[in-house]
Amino acid sequence: MSLKAPPSPAESGRGRGGRAPRPVSRRSGIARLGPLPWIAPVILLILAVVVWPVVELIRTSFLNISIAGKVRGSAGTDKFKKLFEESDFGSVLMWTVVWTVVVVTVTMLLSLALAQLFNQKFPGRRITRWALIAPWAASVLMTAIGFKWMLNQTAGVLNTLMLDLGLIDSSKDWLGKAETAWPWMMAVAVFVSLPFTTYTLLAGLQTIPQDVYEASRIDGAGPWQTYRHITLPMLRPAFLVGVVINLINVFNSFPIIWAMTQGGPGYDTSTSMVFMYKLKETDIGESAAMSVVNFLMVVVLVLIFLKVSRWNEED
């Protein structure tokens, strides 16, 4: 009696024509959409919160709108022409760029030093880390008002202390002039920006493996060489995040300036955000045009930084 081997799976699955039947797809219609059903709510949220307001803002800048909010027809590009013809427009843009660059630069340098300090072990490190959160936890508006009271000409703590120490002969109106108001407002902006930036850089420092530092010491690298060629390059992703977020936040900073000087006297301490807010009292369409300029400016600033920093290139 001869024994016959059982047919192989490939042979048993063949039809009469000798061809294997095509497998039946069990994927449902929803499965064919892939991740779309899960990311669709996020896309809709972005469209509703980001895209639609930008579109509406651009549309408003081409309309003639009364102070009461009534649309009186199209204005074409008249609002942009009126905006560009404002006598203070150029100085406001210049101070906006100076304000943003100075505050972000000083914030990043101080935060880099603080992050390096907090990454070391020393007595009281936990308490100092907690203390750094205070400016971040407090309201920006409340902090600005507190500094405004401190700088008050008649009852401010700073003038009182400096008079008692004989450093000044009479009380100074620190926020009454642009040359003294700008440094103080920049100092407040740096003060409230330090916590987030420091913790961002500190998180980046703590991701650097200690093995890399040990290898550099074995190779004979000094502290400065190690910091320059190992720490800074490996800290680059966290540094880029800190700079981009600070660029956007500082450029759009409104509470500090409005609470301390309201952009005055005149427009001497106004950034483009404060300038835009003041324009709405006389012309909503022109204010919307200023908003469009602000949006384009912050995009250009971020793109310039990303281009200069070569964020998508590997060292």
- Report pLDDT digits (tens) over 123-146: 888 888 888 888 888 889 999 999
**Most confident by average pLDDT, 7-21, 202-216, 252-266:** 252-266
Q: Is 169 exposed, middle or buried (0-12, 13-18, 19+ CB in 10 A)?
A: exposed
Alpha carbon of 65 to those of 84, 245, 270: distances in Å? 19, 34, 24
CA 115 to chain centroid, in Å, comes to 19
Average pLDDT score over residue span 100-112: 95
CB atoms within 10 A of CB 57: 15
Is the model's pLDDT at 8 over the cut of 60? no
| Architecture, CATH, for domain 90-310 | Orthogonal Bundle (1.10)
Average pLDDT score over residue span 147-163: 92
Q: Is the peptide bond before 265 cis (omega within 30 degrees of 0)?
A: yes
The H-or-E segment that residue 267 falls in is: none
Is the model's pLDDT at 271 over the cut of 90? yes
- The residue ranking higher by pLDDT, 31 or 82, is 82
- Report pLDDT digits (tens) over 27-38: 566 667 677 778
Confidence of residue 159 (pLDDT cuts 50, 70, 90): very high
Query: What are the residue ranges spanned by the domains of the chain?
Result: 90-310
Kindly report the pTM of this predicted structure.
0.81
- 21 and 13 in contact (C-beta within 8 Å)? yes
